[in-house]
Structure formats: structure tokens, C-alpha cells
Amino acid sequence: AQSVTQLGSHVSVSEGALVLLRCNYSSSVPPYLFWYVQYPNQGLQLLLKYTSAATLVKGINGFEAEFKKSETSFHLTKPSAHMSDAAEYFCAVSRNDYKLSFGAGTTVTVRA
């Protein structure tokens, strides 16, 4: 069975500060990994995904994530937070079955 753990249900950062959201997966084989963002009262949209092509993945809105097999992690970062980054972020994993398993989510608030 596979699962995803997101460390920290809430993260608060100052505008301009680093955003770091943690995601760890459990899987016997390297999975496919995704980060989605959900703005208030909206559906989810894809930020980026790891498909084994490159371990450092760049996404939209200045976000990137690094796949580390030795740490079974896929943490999401953004060097400088903007007020518009306030949202809920979900890590998800898939394994050759066309289905996604989501983490519980991390809510990001950005302080002016």
C-alpha cells in the first residue's frame, strides 16, 4: 500500500520569505508524485509533478520540488512568498494505476 504524509497542517510565512512544504511517501517502488494547490472555494490545480525524468521539478508560480529517493521525500519550495500564495497545498502519489492518493493538505498563510 502507498500513502502520503504531509508534515504540518498549517504553515505561516512572511511575505518574501521561503516557503517549504514537506511531503513524504511510503512505497516499495518509486512512485509518481504530484503537488496540487487549492485556492478558497475552488477546485485543485496542478503545480508540478515528478515523472522520473528529473529529480528537480519546476512548476508554475515559482514553485519547485525535489524528489529524494533516499529520504522518500518530495518537498515543495518557493524562494519568496507572495500574498497570492495563500492557499491549501496537497501532495499526491500515483503508482501505475491511474489513481491518486492525497495527503491531508497544508494550509499556507502569508503575513504582510
Partner 1 sequence: DAGITQSPRHKVTETGTPVTLRCHQTENHRYMYWYRQDPGHGLRLIHYSYGVKDTDKGEVSDGYSVSRSKTEDFLLTLESATSSQTSVYFCAISEGQTSTDTQYFGPGTRLTVL
Binding positions for partner 1, 52-91, rule CB under 8 A: 90
Ramachandran angles phi, psi of 85, nearest 5°: -80, -5
Query: Measured from the CB atom, is 43 or 56 closer to partner 1?
Result: 43
Alpha-carbon gap, residue 21 to 37, rounded angstroms: 12
Q: Could you tell me the smallest distance in angstroms from the CB atom of residue 52 to partner 1?
A: 8
Contact between 18 and 81 (Cβ < 8 Å): yes
User: Cα–Cα distances in Å, from 6 out to 11, 15, 19, 53, 61?
Assistant: 11, 22, 14, 23, 21
Q: CA-based angle 1:19:65, to the nearest 5?
A: 45
53 or 112: CB nearest partner 1:
53
Looking at the Cβ atoms of 22 and 49, the one nearer to partner 1 is: 49
The binding track of 9-38 with respect to partner 1, each residue x by CB under 8 A or -, is x----------------------x-x-x--
Residues that bind partner 1 (CB under 8 A): 6, 9, 32, 34, 36, 41-46, 49, 51, 90, 94-105
